[in-house]
Structure 1
């Protein structure tokens, strides 16, 4: 905004202003040609019903699989799955996961493969898997516990 004195803005107003002028972290590829890119409301409803918010009980791999299974139900002629996923996946994120995507550096992600890798690395890092394997490996039955 031209003519705004940033010294008089609240922090919330300043952050909103700076986000408006910032390019998104996820680049939405241009859809070329005479393609009518519309996602039916029933699919959008399904995508929004099962969101991911960084809850410790959520599985990043399962979330990606669920989104891919919903997206596989529709076909938009002339539009690749890559383009569809880059446009649709952010709608399936809420809470901390949504904030993570919103705070990515501009132009960070421009393919579905990069998006998927970044998402998995963020929410299912190798250190988490290693810890889970350690927990399983170190599992012991105490003397006063039964197997049932």
Structure 2
């Protein structure tokens, strides 16, 4: 185990004080499988022009669905892992939301898409 890269080991994720995301108390701590963490962080949303937040959510869920976490609710795992799929200003956006404003996966998904789906792209779809 000492010879493995840091990203390969399972990691314990603890609740972050001041987070916009409220994690259910039933998920105080769990270990993220190292290869799961690598996949999520390898497919981060950076908000570049023409980057579709719907596709990012779809990709995140495809990666998420590859793994199962026993004794932890699916929604709690999604809420805890999604911030790892963001980088740069997009990560800052989530960090700067008011504390405990997001309580469900649907709220997080909706807030993310609302923030990063450009109105100009929406207008082109009409």
Q: TM-score, normalised by structure 1?
A: 0.67
Structure of greater Rg: 1
Match of 1:131 in 2: 123
3-state SS, counterpart of residue 31 of structure 1: helix
More strand by share: 2
Gaps in structure 1 of 5+ consecutive residues: 1-21, 135-148
Match of 1:3 in 2: none
3-state SS, counterpart of residue 37 of structure 1: strand
Match of 2:36 in 1: 43
Gaps in structure 2 of 5+ consecutive residues: 1-16
Match of 1:12 in 2: none
3-state SS, counterpart of residue 67 of structure 2: coil
Residue 36 (structure 1) shift: 6.9
Task: State the superposition RMSD in angstroms.
Answer: 2.0
3-state SS, counterpart of residue 38 of structure 1: strand
- Give matches, 1:74-113, under 5 Å: 74-113=67-106
| Pick aligned residue for 2:22 from 20, 24, 27 | 27
